[in-house]
Amino acid sequence: MSKIKKLIADLQRMRSETMEIRGRMAAYVNDLLDKKPPLRMPGDKRAVVDFVMDEFGKLAAQIPSVSRFREADNLCVYANELFLLMTRFVPSSDALTEQQRSVVETLGTYIDKTEELPRGIDNLFVPGENGAAPVVNASDVLRLTDMMESITDPDHRCMFAEGFLHYKDKLSCLTFDAEAALQAFVGDDMERLLASGDAMTEDEANGLEFYVDLCRYIPCDRLTGIVSRLPSLGRNNVSYYALGSLLALKAEVPDELIRQLAYDDEYAYIAKLELDKAGMGDRFPENRSDPIVLHKSDLVHWLTYPTELGKKPDEIKFYTTVDAPDGKVYVYLFKSGSDTLTEDLKGQWLIGWSDDENGAFSEFRTFASCDRGTPEKTAEYIKSCLR
């Protein structure tokens, strides 16, 4: 079997996976073909076209049942990777049958519609002739804000602030009126989200994070004032970005904002780092500045990543410190029932650690597997396990 056919077989085996994972796998295949194109063998072109068109037919059939933007976006990412794969072997649609071209056009139209907002933002910052910096006018921004009026899915609305953040170093291309239009829309939408209070969904709160981060790059008194009010939401993922933006803007940081983050194990460590960088570390509560407390927070924050536990541990406690070549390492024991853990690890005491040089990490070893009878011997064994 040729290398191309083996890659296609790998993609076929991924059909039971989520669309997101299939998209990543297809991107991996395209990356391999870019870096080290294999010698093409007879039948490779047919294998690729047959696979891609079969997938396209299935994707097109799924379109009517897609209700959330996240699903649509994952479908489009996968479809785009398949388009790229097929054009390596069929550079023109002329080589396809009429039925195949119809399926390709259906998917292309769907992708264009789904990606209209992010593509519209990308187009604002395309360099002019001879690489000249673009000029973004108020009408350009208003065209995008008008588009937002018909978008209700929180993940889709996220793309607005996320898109402008991608070009944060090019926002000087906005004219005065364009920046004012952007400030007005961001302010209005943030006020709308603030007004929802406890009814705000997690997806909406995640979208608010992007708005808050964007505020530091399009500063004005109104936006700074809105950011200062965010602690009232009691959502510390948003409050952490509020801290960063207020510090960047050299604006007053409310005591309540610092207290909220300091007493949240997920955010205490990174909030203290932000304050230290701004020369304001003395405003952090003294009883939360102990290294044992802060390094526990560092580990908790790391464990909340989707690739780890995806949430805070159910229990966590300090175990010991270990002297390593890079400095002192703080070792903790934690328990979790997270679905990311195998059944034999759920509810068990697991080991994790944090240090100033390398940050937080865990191999999800059980404490039982590291216990050597005494704290001293156990600490020495844990030291041998540190990355």
Residue 1, pLDDT > 90, answer no
Do 148 and 270 lie in a common domain? yes
Q: Looking at residue 383, what is its pLDDT?
A: 81
| Same-domain status, 170 and 132 | yes
207 — pLDDT class (breaks 50, 70, 90)? very high
Q: Which domain-ending residue is among 114, 138, 155?
A: 114
Share of the chain above pLDDT 90, in %: 84
Nearest partner of 162 among 217, 214, 116, judged by Cα: 214
Residues 275 and 127 in one domain: yes
* Statement to judge: residues 109 and 127 lie in one domain: no
Task: Answer whether residue 242 shows pLDDT above 80.
Answer: yes
- For residues 267 and 131, membership in a common domain is answered with yes
pLDDT in tens, 111-152: 999 999 999 999 999 998 888 889 999 999 999 999 999 999
Owning domain of residue 319: 304-385
- At 41-77, the pLDDT tens digits run 889 999 999 999 999 999 999 999 999 999 999 999 9
Taking every pair of Cα atoms in the chain, the longest distance, rounded to a whole number of angstroms, is: 74
Domain closes at, from 56, 79, 114: 114
Q: What is the DSSP string of 232-279?
A: GG--HHHHHHHHHHHHHTTPPPPHHHHHHHHT-TTTHHHHHHHHHHTT
Interval 84-102: pLDDT, tens: 999 998 888 777 889 999 9
* Segment 175-194 mean pLDDT: 97
Cα–Cα dist 292/274, whole Å: 18
| pTM (2 d.p.) | 0.86
387 band by pLDDT with thresholds 50, 70 and 90? low
Give the bridge partners for 323, in sequence order: 328
Q: Is residue 295 part of a domain?
A: no
How high is the mean pLDDT of the chain?
A: 93
Judge contact between 23 and 81, C-beta under 8 A: yes
Same domain assignment for residues 125 and 199: yes
Q: How many domains does the chain have?
A: 3
Q: Do 8 and 94 fall into the same domain?
A: yes
Whether residues 152 and 257 share a domain: the answer is yes
Q: Which residues contact 34 (CB under 8 A, 6 or more apart)?
A: none
